[in-house]
Structure 1
Amino acid sequence: MAETWTSRADVATDAAERYAEQLASHLGRKAEVRDEPEGRRILVGDGGCLLVVGEAVLELRAEAASAESLTRVQHVVGSHLERFGQRDALVVTWRTPAP
């Protein structure tokens, strides 16, 4: 069975829906975006990130086939979100689950 690398970031914001929409729209120009029951998934290389809108939080669930790919997904999604959310001082801090 292939190993999957995962990480998660919970970004506090009262505009989670707006930021999820903005990320999906912007990144969807170069990446595939899929609507799923829990949220929107942005596919980046051999990984992706599920955007889950919560109450006052945008949850980012990243996964990839390798550590390098996971780092790329985290960088692409996290850096765009922080740039879009500069006025609101959004900070993306990724956490990797313990093995």
Structure 2
Amino acid sequence: MISTARYPTPNATKYVQQLAKHFGHKIEVRSDADSADFEMEAGSVRLSAQDGAFVAQVEAEDAKGIINLRYVVDKHLVIFAFRDGFTGLDWRMADG
């Protein structure tokens, strides 16, 4: 199962880097200037800055894993993007 969210913001690259650094203190994170990938117990996460937006994609075996990963990304982005008035991502399930 895959779920994706897009948050239009001029600070997308900054948020990707902040989240990569934050998660990198506890787990292995592969990142560059505009993207970060990491594995968590529930599944995998990919964060990226694309065309003026922060994009998060989570992948898990089941709905519980998707829900857990969405929560982790949302919870941390709320902390880093509070100045933008961010309150949560609008997640969508991938077709197919």
TM-score exceeds 0.5? yes
**Separation in structure 2 between the aligned mates of residue 70 and residue 30 of structure 1, nearest angstrom:** 20
Alpha-carbon distance in structure 2 between the residues aligned to 1:72 and 1:11: 19
Residue 36 of structure 2 corresponds to residue 40 of structure 1: yes
Shift of 1:83: 1.8
1:75 corresponds in structure 2 to 71
**What residue in structure 1 maps to residue 49 of structure 2?**
53
AA aligned opposite 2:93 = T
Matched letter for residue 64 of structure 1: A
- Contact 2:42–2:60 under 8 Å retained in 1: yes
The structure where helix makes up a greater share of residues is: 2
Partners of 1:39 and 1:86 in 2: how far apart?
21
Identity %: 30
TM-score, length basis structure 1: 0.83
* Partner residue, 2:95: 98
What stretches of structure 2 of length at least 5 have no aligned partner? none
Amino acid paired to 2:89: V
Look up the match of 2:80: 84
**Please, which of 6, 23, 36 is the counterpart of residue 2 of structure 2?**
6
Contact 1:82 1:92 in 2 (8 A): no
Assess if the C-alpha contact under 8 Å between 1:14 and 1:56 holds in 2: yes
**3-state SS in 1 of match to 2:83:** coil
* Count of matched residue pairs: 94
